[in-house]
Structure 1
């Protein structure tokens, strides 16, 4: 049986983000076109569909690492801040973006919150595994496994 671990992350995230955009379970907030994804960034994302890509990446990340919390995901999506002549320093990613995306995934039924952190629901796990099975058919060197 094919799981999300069997396919490249980039192809899974792009396929899931396209489907999340098409089926209207996830909606981009009105403020999303004005924000940076963290204090370490200088500009907002150039991709107009970045919200769906981040939501799909968060769904995959919760699937792979779960149970996880907001702080651990902020560390994953953080980066080095350019401080001019001072050495770069690591800064965490935006917690508000992560929190809102996870709340939308919870409303869609793909993620659930527990005492340990957020985990993928059985519906979310089967959704990602089915997407991975579709993707692996298109990759000739991986389809033989």
Structure 2
């Protein structure tokens, strides 16, 4: 069986984003076109479909994790370096609102489940989706 660890992350996230867009269970929020992905950014993402990419990336991160991931951990993972002009840059966490809304959509789609007090874990449907997409990518790379 092919897993998410055995295929390149960029190809997996790209294919997952396309698949999630076709499923029509994940919708871009109305505020997403104006939202920055963290305080360390100056502008919102240039890609119009960045929401699907972020949701696919979250799904991949949760699938690779050995234990449930909470929003605080994911905020740290999606954080970045804030440039302060002439002062030294410092690390800042990513947007919790984006992560929270994306995880809620993944839960409603049945791809992620919540473990109270611990975080989010991949549901069997989510694991099946990732394995299926990973298998497609491996076929493409081997041919």
**Do they fold alike, i.e. is TM over 0.5?**
yes
TM-score normalised according to structure 2 size = 0.96
Aligned length: 141
Equivalent residue, structure 1, for 2:122:
120
Equivalent residue, structure 1, for 2:3:
3
User: What SS does structure 2 have at the residue aligned with 1:139?
Assistant: helix
Matches within 5 A, 1:1-145: 1-65=1-65, 66-115=67-116, 116-140=118-142
Question: C-alpha displacement at 1:23, in angstroms?
Answer: 1.7
TM-score normalised according to structure 1 size = 0.95
Q: Deviations over 1:29-56 (max 9, x none)?
A: 0000001000000100000000000000
Q: Deviations over 1:49-108 (max 9, x none)?
A: 000000000000011114100011001111010111110000000000000000000000
Q: Which runs of 5+ in 2 are unaligned?
A: none
Structure 2: distance between partners of 1:106 and 1:23:
14
Structure 1: distance between partners of 2:101 and 2:62:
14
Q: Which runs of 5+ in 1 are unaligned?
A: none
Q: Which runs of 4+ in 1 moved over 2 A?
A: none
Q: Deviations over 1:97-141 (max 9, x none)?
A: 00000000000000001032100011111110011001100002x
Question: C-alpha displacement at 1:19, in angstroms?
Answer: 1.1
Structure 2: distance between partners of 1:89 and 1:3:
35
Structure 2: distance between partners of 1:3 and 1:78:
26
